[in-house]
Structures are given as C-alpha cells and as structure tokens.
C-alpha cells in the first residue's frame, strides 16, 4: 500500500523531497523514510529526542503537517543549505560601496537556497546629485538590474531557481518608473515587484488630492494621488505587477512594532520582515482533518487540530536551532525573535467536505473560526514552550501585549503571555503551497479555491516518451470514491467561476487571525472592466487585507484555465469532450523528434555585436508540418573562435528542442532574458542585455516572419488547446523546467502543475 493519494504526489516527492546520493541512489527508500529523517533531525535539539521524534513523525504521517519545501528536502541531509525559505536583506545604504556589499550578501544567501526581499526606497532617485564626483545618480532601478543579473548567475551555477521581491515606497521619486519596469518583458525577470502603499496615500486617492514624491526631505515632484494609483492599477491590470502592500497596516499590527520597522517582504509577500529577518514556514493540511466528509455531520476534528498545531509549533521552533544561516546577522535576528509562520493548506477542499461554498458568507465565517482556533492554539503552545525553554530574548511583555495583533487576542491567551512570556514573537502566516499541495495528494493550495477539478498532464518517462495521466483535486477524488459518477453539488466551485469579491472576502476573513500576511492570488476574468478591477484593490484595503495580488489572463501574462460551458458535467463524464477539443491544433507535440528531410527552407541573418571584430551569422531552417512552417534547426557561424565552443553547444541544444515539436517560443524568451554581468549593448536604438539575448531576438523575428509567432513577446499564432478534463484550457506559458504548458498563477507565483516548478522556489 502506498501513502500517496495520487501518482503526481509520488513524482513530486521523488523529484523534490526524496534524499538521494549524488549518483541518484535514494537514501529515502519510502516516504516514511523522509518523514523519519525530518522528525529525527528536528528532535535532535530536544532533551528527549526519542520521545519527540515519535511525536513529530506522527504529525508528518499521512501529510497532516507539511513543513515548507526546504525543511522537507534539507532536514537531516547534512547538506550546506538553510532550512529557512526566504529572507529580507539588510537596509540598502545609499552609497556605491554599501550597495555592492548588499549585493554580495544577497548572492551568499541565494547560494544556499534562500529567496530574498529588498526595499529599494533607500537609494536616491535617478538624476539626484552624487556629492564629490560631479555626477548624477543612476537611481534604484539601475541597481535592481544588477541584482537581477546576479540572480541569473547564481541560477546558472546550479542552484535552485532564485526568487526576489523588490519593494518601493509610493512616495519615492522613481516610483512611476518602478511601476512600469516590467512592461519590458526582458527586464527584472527574477523579481516580483510590490509598491509600499501608505494609509496617507490611500486617503489622498480617495480624496483626489495631490501627492509629493520625495527623498531625504527634498520634494522632487508633486503628482495627483489618483493618477499615480491609476498607473499602479493599469500596470497590474496589463502585466500582473506590481502588487500592492499596505505597509502602514503591517507595521501597526506587528507584534514586534516596539523594536522593528518593516519595509519589505519575502518573494511571495506572505511574510513581512525587518532587515535580516527570515521566514520559517509550514502548513496544517486541513483536508486531512475533516471527519465524515460530505455527510451532514462533517466537521473539522478540533481536538486533533489543536494537538497537531502544538506539535507543529514545537517542530518549527526547533528549526531555528537546527538550521544553518547564510549570514550571521540572519542567525541573530532569528534567534532573538524566533519568528515562525504556521499556516494552512487544503482549506478549500476542507470547506467542500463540510458542504460550504468557497466565497460564501458561511465559508468566510468558518474560515475565520478555524484560523482563530489555529492562532489560539499556536500562542498557547508557544507559551508552554516559553515555560520549558524560555521566551524569545527581545520580549518586552507590556509593549508586546499593547500591539495591534495582541490587543485582539483572547484574554486567557494574553494573561498566559503576561505570566509566562512566549517563545515565538509571531506564529502564523499563510504561505504559497503549490508544490507541497501536489505532494500531499493535490489538495487545494493554501487558502486558494480549487483551481481545477481535474486535468491531464504529460509525464516524461525514462525512455524519453511521455504518457498522460489524470490529476484530480483531492476533494473531488474523495467525492468520486464515495459517490461514483453522481453529479457534483452546487457548492463545488473553482477559481475561474468565482467573482473577485469572493476571493477578497476569503482573504480578509483569514487575515483577521494571521500575524504576518497571506500569499493569495485574486483571479479576475479577462473581460473585467478597469474600474471593477480597481475596486478589487479598494475592497482589499477597506476590509483589512495587508496586501493584494491579482491575476488577469491576457496576451502578456498568459492564459489560465477557464471553465467550459459543460461545467454541469462531472469530470468523469467529459474526457471525450477534451479529446475532441484538441483536434485540428496546428502545433504537433512529439515524443520522438522529427526526422530531417533532405532539404529545408531557411534564412541566414547577420548579427553584428558592438566591440566584436567579427559578425555572427545565424541560420534558422524550418520544417513544414500540416501545411505550416515551424523552426527545425539553428546554425551559428563566426570567424571569432572565442565563441566557437559555446555556439556549437547552443545550436545543438536549441535544435534538439525544436525537433521535439510543440510550442518552442519559450526558447526565445529564455535567451532574450539572459543578462551579461559585463554589460549588454545598444543595438538599433534598443538595449540588448547580452549577445545571447540578441540571438534570441533574431530567432524570434524569424518565427514572426514565418508566421509561427503572433508578434514580439507573444505566443503561437494559432493556439493549440491542451487536453483537460471538464475544462477547456487555453495555452499557458511553457514551463522552463519541463516544457509543458501548465504554468499558472498560484498565490502570486507562476507555478507548473505538471512538474511543480515554481518561480518562487
């Protein structure tokens, strides 16, 4: 008997979390070995390791408690990695030396697998005086480009994909350039961007007042607040960025407001952190705690939940002592405050199991009740730890109990803290759980609604072929197992059928009892009006959310799943519909490469790179498939022998990808996004970040000229439809890891539903 509820769960475990030797030999033979490894590692700091190893194993067993991915993959392996998910780095000094010291710290942190967040508001604006050198400042965005290149360099060195968050205050003189920075699809690809929005700014927006943009006491510009707000809204409407962080609300609610100021978050926004703060994350799997699912008496077992929360808090507190830290400042920050972020996953599935419609008033009230219970039990467990092991070193009881969060806490919890102190300064946060939710059997992610009841995915086999398998939501599978083909009840809803206001309602209900913040994507229909879209953000502000991230599918951001007209049918009824929908697609998906015809049509392009003595000649040959022309192979020639080895390797790899078929436009996007740390060049009035980016641009222009691509930065001229159960599925962006077209915006992060790859790690 396997512990895995779905094949995809076992595949995710094997790819991401299973401990293996360098040659691929598994140390973890079974998933029980993984749970035992984690339990033993985190119990090693206890006075009675054997006792706590058993209790920790029980919490992990059957995916009831899910530590964050870095803990699951790294605990007990003795690898030189941090068990913390991500960090906010130190305050960036407004000096050249200080800036590059921060860059070095960022590189060291990312090298160990930590995502990072930075507030770039501390760097003087573009054009400001630089004293002593008779020059003008280049501004924060130019240094963000340097960070972006560094992140790519760390990736190319073999580390996991980097993730960074950049924030900027709404009153910084360069805020308008920051807002629109990612309208250039090749720029700042390694960053998520968010604007730090203050209460004063929101009041100015509502009053249609003016707004000063200033730095170091000097006013550089005065703008209309509503115009600036509209610019933020227009950019996120068109490009899904920047996000919005209500920074004053975060600082007023912070339990540690008496000893720290927050101005940045981790890459997905759920963990606002001070300089050198670290986020330590884990999730209670609510879908595993429902007794009698789909029956009249279905309910969360609150006793089991309370016990599980107490054990999870102890495990997470032990991570603070068991983990390595890239920097000493990060270790001290974690030790002094012992901040943890316990959250949930599978919430939407749990609501379905108790018969409640996600987004309804009833579901919002239930969510608030469940999360209050988790908050209470977390705080009481931390008080018990303080009795046994001591409170966090920077605790000032009077100041702590007077903060925004603690003023709302129940009197018995406040009294316990006043008497005994508390071990952990902050305890709750709702993190992105895209990958670990797949690992747990495809439960709904975090507090998100069910994304799709079912879909098909292509799985790469060892012989290079791909097989198809159905991936079913955890709650839907339980319904099928219990009721067969009986029609799904009306309360089964998914992310595409919900109104944006329902998403916000659920986020606001959860936020009330969450110390830190929430990673949540508010899905908006493509045809939502701009005014209605802006109202989503205003609703988030008015209802107490600490931030807001939306996703509206369009030609720039890519598509997500959309519900078909046949939503009244159950997933089991409609595989034939999905197969019929895929007929006639212009793109052929191959398990074996195309055979090369004797002759091919093609074009050769001359590429002259500045400061290079010899030009590069790029030839792209095409093949005709079903009457349509598509790229088949690439050759690069140059008299410059310096580039010979890498150009030959590059052309062979690109050609191998082209010959496999499918939408290969992602090759162009990856090449165009490569930054050369030595600097790019201006070519025909446009800045090209590297010679590889220039090659990508030439290939893209060829694809456009031959009709394979719609236009620059765009996808296929004629979209194929992927196979999907119960849903029509327009093509999303191709996954850079597995190549499948399953990239979807989940909890503010592009995530592949096929292989679990995530931009945010």
Residues with catalytic roles: 266, 268, 270
Burial of 605 (0-12, 13-18, 19+ CB in 10 A): middle
CB 594 within 8 A of CB 608: no
Task: Give dist(CA 624, CA 123) in Å, integer.
Answer: 53
Alpha carbon of residue 657 to chain centroid: 27
CA distance to 455, 485, 561, 589, 739, per residue, from 728 (Å): 10, 20, 7, 18, 20
- List Cβ neighbours of 542 (8 Å cut-off, separation of 6 or more): none
SS3 385: helix
H-helix or E-strand spanning residue 476: helix 474-483
Q: How far apart are CA 624 and CA 622, in angstroms?
A: 7
Which residue has tokens 């490009």? 239
C-beta atoms surrounding 23 within 10 Å: 5
Quote the radius of gyration of the chain (alpha carbons, Å): 26
Residues 6 or more apart whose Cβ sits within 8 Å of residue 184: none
- Scanning 193-266, the segments in alpha helix (DSSP H) are 199-207, 225-239, 247-253
For the purposes of burial, counting CB atoms within 10 Å of the CB of 512, is it exposed (0-12), middle (13-18) or buried (19 or more)? middle
Neighbours of 172 (CB within 10 A): 25
Euclidean distance between CA atoms 71 and 69, whole angstroms: 5
**Which helix (DSSP H) or strand (DSSP E) does residue 194 occupy?**
strand 191-197
Contact 171, 201 (CB under 8 A): yes
Give the strand pairing for 115-119 and 164-169: parallel
Give the DSSP H or E segment for 653. helix 644-659
Determine the Cα–Cα distance for residues 88 and 115; give it in Å rounded to an integer: 8
Torsion of CA 302, 306, 312, 317, to 10 degrees: 150
Residue in 281, 339, 266, 323 with CA at minimum distance from that of residue 82: 323
Task: Provide DSSP, 495-525.
Answer: TTTS-HHHHHHHHHHHHTT-SS-B---EE--
Task: Report which of 697, 699, 616 is spatially closest to residue 657, judged by C-alpha positions.
Answer: 699
Determine the Cα–Cα distance for residues 448 and 347; give it in Å rounded to an integer: 7
Structure tokens given for 714:
């765009």
8-state DSSP, 121: G
CA distance 465 to 632: 19
- Alpha-carbon distance 103 to 144, whole Å? 10
């Amino acid at each position: 008997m396997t512990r895995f509820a779905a094949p995809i769960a076992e595949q995710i475990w094997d790819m991401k979390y299973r401990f293996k030797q360098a040659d691929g030999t598994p140390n973890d033979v079974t998933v029980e070995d993984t749970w035992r490894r984690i339990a033993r590692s985190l119990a090693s700091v206890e006075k009675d390791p054997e006792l706590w190893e058993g209790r920790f194993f029980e919490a992990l067993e059957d995916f009831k408690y899910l530590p964050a991915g870095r803990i699951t993959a790294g605990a007990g392996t003795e690898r030189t990695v941090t068990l913390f998910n991500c960090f906010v780095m130190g305050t960036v000094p407004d000096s050249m030396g200080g800036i590059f010291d921060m860059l070095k710290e960022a590189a060291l942190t990312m090298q160990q697998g930590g995502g990072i967040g930075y507030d770039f508001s501390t760097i003087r604006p573009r054009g400001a005086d630089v004293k002593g050198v008779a020059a003008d400042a280049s501004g924060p965005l130019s240094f963000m480009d340097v960070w972006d290149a560094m992140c790519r360099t760390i990736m190319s060195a073999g580390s996991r994909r980097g993730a960074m968050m950049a924030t900027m205050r709404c009153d910084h003189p360069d805020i308008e350039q920051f807002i629109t920075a990612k309208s250039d699809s090749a720029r700042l690809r390694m960053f998520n961007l968010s604007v730090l929005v203050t209460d004063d700014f929101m009041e100015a927006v509502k009053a249609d007042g003016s707004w000063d943009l200033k730095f170091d006491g000097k006013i550089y510009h005065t703008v209309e607040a509503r115009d600036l707000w509209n610019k933020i809204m227009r950019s996120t409407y068109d490009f899904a960025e920047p996000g919005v962080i209500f920074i004053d609300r975060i600082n007023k609610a912070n339990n540690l407001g008496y000893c720290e100021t927050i101005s940045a978050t981790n890459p997905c926004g759920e963990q606002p952190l001070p300089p050198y703060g670290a986020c330590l994350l884990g999730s209670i799997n609510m879908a595993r705690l429902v007794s009698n699912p789909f029956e009249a008496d279905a309910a969360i077992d609150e006793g089991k939940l309370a016990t599980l929360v107490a054990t999870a808090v102890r495990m997470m507190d032990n991570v603070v002592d068991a983990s390595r830290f890239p920097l000493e400042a990060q270790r001290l920050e974690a030790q002094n405050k012992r901040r943890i972020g316990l959250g949930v996953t599978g919430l939407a599935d749990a609501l379905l199991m108790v018969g409640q419609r996600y987004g309804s008033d009833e579901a919002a009230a239930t969510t608030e009740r469940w999360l209050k219970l988790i908050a209470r039990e977390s705080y009481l467990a931390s008080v018990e730890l303080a009795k046994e092991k001591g409170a966090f070193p920077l605790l000032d009881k009077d100041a702590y109990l007077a903060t925004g969060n603690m003023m709302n806490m129940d009197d018995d919890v406040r009294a316990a803290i006043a008497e005994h102190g508390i071990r952990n300064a902050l305890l709750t946060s709702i993190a992105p759980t895209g990958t670990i939710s797949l690992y747990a059997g495809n439960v709904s992610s975090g507090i998100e609604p069910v994304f799709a009841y079912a879909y098909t995915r292509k799985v790469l086999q060892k012989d290079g072929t791909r097989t198809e398998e159905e991936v079913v939501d955890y709650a839907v599978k339980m319904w099928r197992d219990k009721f067969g083909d009986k029609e799904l009840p009306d309360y089964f809803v998914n992310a595409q059928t919900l109104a944006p206001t329902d998403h916000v309602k659920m986020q606001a209900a959860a936020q009330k009892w969450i110390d830190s913040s929430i990673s949540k994507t508010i899905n908006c229909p493509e045809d939502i009006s701009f005014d209605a879209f802006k109202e989503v953000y205003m609703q988030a502000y008015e209802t107490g959310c600490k931030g807001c991230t939306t996703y509206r599918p369009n030609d720039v951001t890519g598509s997500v799943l959309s519900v078909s007209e046949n939503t009244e049918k159950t997933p089991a009824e409609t595989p034939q519909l999905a197969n019929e929908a895929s007929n006639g697609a212009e793109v052929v998906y191959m398990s074996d490469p195309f055979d090369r015809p004797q002759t091919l049509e093609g074009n050769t392009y001359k590429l002259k790179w500045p400061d290079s003595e010899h030009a590069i000649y790029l030839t792209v040959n095409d093949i005709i498939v079903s009457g349509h022309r598509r790229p088949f192979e690439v050759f690069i020639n140059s008299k410059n022998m310096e580039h010979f080895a890498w150009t030959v390797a590059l052309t062979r790899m690109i050609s191998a990808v082209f010959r496999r078929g499918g939408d290969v436009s992602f090759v162009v996007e990856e090449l165009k996004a490569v930054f050369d740390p030595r600097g790019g060049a201006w070519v025909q009035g446009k800045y090209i970040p590297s010679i590889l980016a220039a090659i990508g641009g030439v290939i893209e222009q060829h694809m456009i000229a031959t009709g394979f691509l719609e236009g620059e930065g765009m996808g296929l001229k004629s979209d194929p439809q992927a196979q999907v159960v119960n849903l029509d599925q327009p093509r999303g962006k191709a996954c850079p890891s597995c190549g499948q077209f399953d990239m979807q915006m989940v909890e503010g992060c592009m995530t592949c539903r096929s292989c679990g790859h995530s931009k945010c790690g």
